[in-house]
Amino acid sequence: MNGAESLLATLAANGVDVCFANPGTSEMHFIAALDRVAGVRCVLGLAESVATGAADGYYRMARRPAATLLHLGPGLGNGIANLHNAGKARSGIVNIVGDHALAHRRFESPLRSDVEAIAAPVSHWLKTSASSLEVARDGAQALAATRDGALGRIATLILPADTAWGPGGEPVLAPPPNVPAAPQASAVRAAANVLTELGSRAVLLLGASGVGERAREAAAAIAARTGCRLLAEFYNARMPGGRGRVRVDRLPYGVEAAVEKLAGAERLVLAGAAEPIAFFAYPGKPSELKPPGCRTLVLAEARDDVPAALEALRDELGATAARVTAPDRSFDIEALRNAGALSADVVGDVLAALLPENAIVVDEAVSSGRAFGPCFAAAAPHDWLAVMGGAIGFGLPAALGAALGAPGRPVLALEGDGSAMYTPQALWSIAREGLPVLAVIFANRAYRILQGELNGMGAAVGGPKAAAMLRLDQPSIDWVALARGLGVPGGRAQTAGDLVREVERGFASGGPYLIEVVL
Amino acid sequence: MNGAESLLATLAANGVDVCFANPGTSEMHFIAALDRVAGVRCVLGLAESVATGAADGYYRMARRPAATLLHLGPGLGNGIANLHNAGKARSGIVNIVGDHALAHRRFESPLRSDVEAIAAPVSHWLKTSASSLEVARDGAQALAATRDGALGRIATLILPADTAWGPGGEPVLAPPPNVPAAPQASAVRAAANVLTELGSRAVLLLGASGVGERAREAAAAIAARTGCRLLAEFYNARMPGGRGRVRVDRLPYGVEAAVEKLAGAERLVLAGAAEPIAFFAYPGKPSELKPPGCRTLVLAEARDDVPAALEALRDELGATAARVTAPDRSFDIEALRNAGALSADVVGDVLAALLPENAIVVDEAVSSGRAFGPCFAAAAPHDWLAVMGGAIGFGLPAALGAALGAPGRPVLALEGDGSAMYTPQALWSIAREGLPVLAVIFANRAYRILQGELNGMGAAVGGPKAAAMLRLDQPSIDWVALARGLGVPGGRAQTAGDLVREVERGFASGGPYLIEVVL
């Protein structure tokens, strides 16, 4: 057993069953080990951003880390954006990066780079294996480092080529991760007092595992009992939604709207959420969204057992279940089929109406997707995965990973055309693995979000050169041709009738499908 | 004039006329400035790797830096691989990265990251602007930092959003760069003595500007006079080639072949070249390619005036011009048209035969392109640009940049299908700018290079799982459809006749064109 085999066996022994790889020469022994060590399915991405984004999506559904396999500093570089997103989503990943053999690293070869320095900004844990005999132990340490209570972490293990090809040790079991902290009685009592005293002048803000079903049911009971306002963060790594589930409004994305939503709040009670901060800074607008003078009370940190904390608070208050679900609403698919022109509402309704039971929605629609919330509240029950670090190019890779992390569940990937162009390579991997992913591309032929941001920034000029930088026409991207080129069939929708037909076709196919929605 | 405008005016005043951009919210004031400050053409890339690779290709042809414009840490991350390549190519780039406003950076917003830490491994110079009033001065410093003698450098300027939107200063002229060092008489005399004494037991190794035409003519005269062996490095940022030009063999890529080529050498004389090092380390193979005991003499460093040093050496030796050009060879295009099946030789001959005068060849064909050297020696005069840092995904972006850096010259981009899949987004920018780029994709449906490297690594197993990681079929990529999706017309070649027809069509079109060569 060589070092690579000992690492692969360690991964398998600890329950890592998928590796998203874009390997190079220095990773060849790891690749060769795939035929000698059972238990890890290796999924090829044609760009590293596919591998790292897929690992993020995988973790969110499987609740256990996947491994990645990247090639030296530049390969890692290509994966950084989605590692950033995964880190912000608190997804656990064993991020394996090959490097030159230890003795070769001192030479100025073309691919020499400081892999550790490139990895550090996106790694919670980082180590370079120093010997093939230690690779298994290092792998087990990396695995242990992917968990911090309820949160995942990015553990980067750098694997010099000779630590892969030299003699390996025995596989090593990782120590059990620390469990999420139980509710703190003092925090629960303090929250009960604040919410009881302030009522609607308090906001209970949910984040991380606080947006799950159990947590939301407890939170709804708390709100019904105390009259406090209940909100979730705007972006959530995984948020259950749809019919019959407790509805929780999200804090809006826009600074003005968020400030207005929090107006009058004297206290924020955080349950897995962070202090609410504007996504970007804008001239003359605040970074902090809560009102001046509003204080914060932490019921539970994101790494803690947030659902248990909310249930403890509910019990402390003597509250009983209060299911505030979305208003009953049914879709008239025949009316939608004849709705004619595509508006955001019509698109949202069609997608929500046709969403299969237990689907996973990956949301990177950016500007086009903002209006979909109310539509999907009435859709079949589903999980909603948002890009958490703001780095676009997450969606299609995450759809790949989510489909592998929750086998059999259909995946709907909502993509802006601008967003999807960062990582179209993921379509090929989705085709190769034959996954039930329906990718819907909102083709507004623009960085529409930036057209708004240009104004929001007070940078408005409307000159032709600036405008040209935000337009994706000339040429317009033919998404159906592009997808076919990558092995994914698809169709185009210009009317509501087209969209109904294509969405039905896509979900019915049971395999990959892409729809270009012309807006 | 705000900070962004003062920076743009500074770039323009110092001769930077192109900016390769993939902007986001924090860069909106820079984008808005494009309509207020003349002189900089902004070229949109749909992924950051396009922008950074294009800046590399641009510099190699224009011999002056372009700017990039990237969005925060993750955007920079996506650009790292091609910044790595550009750094190894010694291309100068003003790498501008937007960041959150200074006051916003302390908050844990989704896009917060340590931009400086991400930039440091690929930057020769790095600064974060601290005030909008200082941005122009910082820009001028960055420009000055893009040059070190004959070499370019990566100068990263981080631009917090408020330094762009706040009041700016006046544009600033950069100080003149230090000029490449003139030949050192002692080094010239020492080299003359060594080469005269050792003859064929010495190797004169050319790199950097030592592979240019003037330098090569001097080197050929030196070799004719002394009997020394003459070689160029395997990878060169820009190497003139073709009919009538001095032919210089390159040190082979493979370790065994390179070691054999240098066997018997007692002294290496370096003219712009580095110590020859294996690209990768392999079990049981050396990292250093020169024979044990072989010593090195530096005639000129890459940053020095290498052509002048070679001419001084030629004069010291009293050598006279000796043009060792490639053997005369003409192509029979009609015979090629009827050659039937496509082999590497036939493909090389067709491309070389039909190459227009003064073309630029961007080489990222990896395995497929290795055999082309002899063919292109007989082609029309051209410049050959290789990927210098080993990070694939360079070719199509570099073709974009090279076409803009040498307006009017046709560009032939030789791409492996594996390589081209890292940055297919560049095709869209090439289409948008209407550039004369012919992209030839060698579709062997595999990471063919890695199939060889797997064996070269001694990692051979031939198991199906390892094999699957190196194959790009299932599904096969339809490059013609993919290119059409991105606005580039194209065709497929399965026979020599197809290839002749498609290459003629592609070059005749005068615009972007893509050929999928099915191997």
Residues A393, A395: Cα–Cα separation, whole Å: 6
Alpha-carbon distances of B216 from A237, B187, B197, B232, B246, rounded to whole Å: 59, 18, 21, 9, 6
Domain ranges of chain A: 3-165, 185-317, 333-518
The CATH label, of 3.60.15.10, 3.10.129.10, 3.40.50.970, 1.10.287.130, for the domain at A3-165 is 3.40.50.970
Name every chain A residue with its beta carbon within 8 A of the beta carbon of B476: 487
Decide: helix, strand or coil at residue B416. strand
Nearest chain B CA: its distance from A168 CA (Å): 14
Residues A471, A476: Cα–Cα separation, whole Å: 9
Check pLDDT > 80 for residue B369: no
Q: What is the ipTM of this complex?
A: 0.97
From the list B92, B111, B518, the residue with the least C-alpha distance to B342 is B518
Tell me the per-residue pLDDT of B108-135, one tens digit each, with 9 for 90 and over.
999 999 999 999 999 999 999 999 999 9
Q: Where are the alpha helices (DSSP H) in B181-329?
A: 185-198, 213-226, 255-262, 306-317
Burial readout A475-500 (b: 16 or more C-beta within 10 A, e: otherwise): bbbbbbbbbbbbbbebbbbebbbbbb
Name every chain B residue with its beta carbon within 8 A of the beta carbon of A21: 469
Residue of chain A nearest B469, judged by CA positions: A44
Contact B466 A283 (CB under 8 A): no
Name every chain B residue with its beta carbon within 8 A of the beta carbon of A34: 463, 465-466, 469
Q: Sorting pLDDT into bands at 50, 70 and 90, what band is A325?
A: low
Contact B280 A47 (CB under 8 A): no
Q: Sorting pLDDT into bands at 50, 70 and 90, what band is B65?
A: very high
Q: Cβ contacts of residue A275 below 8 Å, gap of 6+?
A: A268, A288, A290, A296, B107, B108
Of A81, A103, A388, which is closest to B281 when you measure between CB atoms? A103
Name every chain B residue with its beta carbon within 8 A of the beta carbon of A456: 25
Q: Sorting pLDDT into bands at 50, 70 and 90, what band is B457?
A: confident
Q: State chain A's mean pLDDT as an integer.
A: 95
Of B104, B450, B461, which is closest to A36 when you measure between CB atoms? B461
Tell me the per-residue pLDDT of B214-262, one tens digit each, with 9 for 90 and over.
999 999 999 999 999 999 999 999 999 999 899 999 999 999 999 999 9
Contact B44 A85 (CB under 8 A): no
Contact A113 B84 (CB under 8 A): yes
From the list A254, A249, A481, the residue with the least C-alpha distance to A374 is A249
User: A186 is written with which tokens?
Assistant: 């003092």
User: A179 is written with which tokens?
Assistant: 């469990």
User: A443 is written with which tokens?
Assistant: 């083709």
Contact B77 A85 (CB under 8 A): no
Contact B481 A476 (CB under 8 A): no
Q: Sorting pLDDT into bands at 50, 70 and 90, what band is A374?
A: confident
The pLDDT of residue A177 is: 84
Residue of chain A nearest B74, judged by CA positions: A81
Strands A18-21 and A41-44 come out as parallel
Q: Please compute the mean of the pLDDT values over residues B416-436 and round it to a whole number.
A: 97
The CATH label, of 3.50.50.60, 3.90.180.10, 2.40.30.10, 3.40.50.970, for the domain at A333-518 is 3.40.50.970
Of B25, B428, B461, which is closest to A280 when you measure between CB atoms? B25
The pLDDT of residue A460 is: 61
Across the A/B interface, how many CB contacts are shorter than 8 Å? 327
Tell me the per-residue pLDDT of B315-334, one tens digit each, with 9 for 90 and over.
999 998 766 666 678 899 99
Q: Is A331 exposed, middle or buried (CB count within 10 Å of its CB: 0-12, 13-18, 19+)?
A: middle
> Is-contact A491 A480, C-beta < 8 A?
yes
The pLDDT of residue A358 is: 98
Contact A485 B478 (CB under 8 A): yes
Q: Please work out, in degrees rounded to the nearest 5, the angle formed at the alpha carbon of residue B283 by the alpha carbons of B257 and B82.
A: 70
The pLDDT of residue B352 is: 97
Of B73, B287, B391, which is closest to A107 when you measure between CB atoms? B287
Strands B93-99 and B154-160 come out as parallel
Name every chain A residue with its beta carbon within 8 A of the beta carbon of B273: none
Strands B382-386 and B239-241 come out as antiparallel
Residues B36, B39: Cα–Cα separation, whole Å: 10
Residue of chain A nearest B480, judged by CA positions: A485
Alpha-carbon distances of B263 from A146, A342, B232, rounded to whole Å: 50, 71, 16
The pLDDT of residue B95 is: 98
Mutate to test the interface with A, among B465, B473, B484 (most CBs of A within 10 A): B465
From the list A422, A519, A395, the residue with the least C-alpha distance to A60 is A395
Same fold, A185-317 and A333-518: yes
Look up the CATH superfamily of B185-317. TPP-binding domain (3.40.50.1220)
Residues B62, A316: Cα–Cα separation, whole Å: 72
Mutate to test the interface with B, among A270, A457, A473 (most CBs of B within 10 A): A457
Burial readout A14-44 (b: 16 or more C-beta within 10 A, e: otherwise): bebbbbbbbbbbbbbbbbbbbebbeebebbb
Q: What percent of chain B has pLDDT over 90?
A: 89
Mutate to test the interface with A, among B78, B287, B289, B516 (most CBs of A within 10 A): B78
DSSP-assigned states of every residue in A173-215: PPPPPPPPPPPPHHHHHHHHHHHHHHGGGEEEEE-GGGGSHHH
The pLDDT of residue B449 is: 82
Nearest chain A CA: its distance from B77 CA (Å): 5
Tell me the per-residue pLDDT of A135-148, one tens digit each, with 9 for 90 and over.
999 999 999 999 99
User: A352 is written with which tokens?
Assistant: 């929500």
Name every chain B residue with its beta carbon within 8 A of the beta carbon of A113: 84, 121-122
